[in-house]
Amino acid sequence: MSKDINLKSLNLLKAFGGITKKYGKHLAFVAVLAVLLVYILVVFKISQLASAEPSDDQAASSGITIPKVNQKTINHIEKLSQNNTQLKALLGNTRDNPFQ
């Protein structure tokens, strides 16, 4: 018994020839429909992954901690920003808002 497959003996063109003659007009529509279906599935999966929240175990094991700033440092930065006019221009709203 031969392990090689002879594609010529299968006559695939004859088998699909009748189908392409009969439904050839609709082949482009089916192809566009298939691409749109794949696109919808990809967008749906992306939206699921974007809205996914980590479990409590994953959040605890990530090692990400929120840095704490003590009140003394905050007061010192505010005092320095009140004395520096250039920093006031960067941090504060020095213009009057006519829409308020």
Residue 87: count other Cβ atoms within 10 Å of its Cβ: 13
pLDDT at residue 82 greater than cutoff 80: no
Q: Are 81 and 87 in contact (CB under 8 A)?
A: yes
pLDDT on residue 8: 65
pLDDT on residue 72: 92
In this structure, of 11-25, 32-46, 72-86, the range with the lowest mean pLDDT score is 11-25
Residue 77: count other Cβ atoms within 10 Å of its Cβ: 13
Structure confidence by residue, pLDDT tens digits, 24-76 = 888 889 999 999 999 999 999 999 999 888 777 776 777 677 778 899 998 98
pLDDT on residue 42: 97
Torsion on CA atoms 85, 88, 90, 92, rounded to nearest 10: -160
